[in-house]
Structure 1
């Protein structure tokens, strides 16, 4: 699988990132002291979603979630589904 960290068609603003992180804390009921990492990846291989957001919750063990949207496109319902999908 080939991912690009370079040019991204939809760059997330600080406000987008902040909002998505707030939703993650709320929906997954995560303690405020636990860090969350968001990475927006672009895939160039056939059959791979063009953009994927990877969410890492830095608990012990680390929990990882993936949403097949850019950070700017993520809505609260996408985050709330993460608990159901795991």
Structure 2
């Protein structure tokens, strides 16, 4: 008897949800964002040659209409707060 298939990439898995929450909180802390700022976190797969297999994109939209975006070339589960700080203070912001 085989066990049921569990999709490790499913959006509703607790590890994905938890990773998004933590990355959002770290982004708010690092950038000292107001409560009205919107932080979006997405993990993207890249199939182009030379591109990392997974990339995490953090988008910050503030009430003043300003937008910041940082691309981190690793999966969400591997992101640490130093990655967020480096991306937004360094050259990873668009």
Distance in 2 of aligned mates of 1:27 and 1:20: 10
Deviation above 2 Å: which 4+ runs of structure 1?
A: none
Q: Tell me which structure has the larger Cα radius of gyration.
A: 2
CA contact (8 A) 2:70 2:88 kept: no
Distance in 1 of aligned mates of 2:72 and 2:87: 9
Aligned length: 78
| Equivalent residues in 2 for 1:1-86, closer than 5 Å | 8=9, 12-59=15-62, 60-86=65-91
Name which structure has the greater RCO, CA cutoff 8 Å, separation 6+: 1
Structure 2 unpaired stretches of 5+: 1-7
Q: TM-score, normalised by structure 2?
A: 0.73
Distance in 1 of aligned mates of 2:36 and 2:66: 15
Q: TM-score, normalised by structure 1?
A: 0.80
RMSD: 1.8
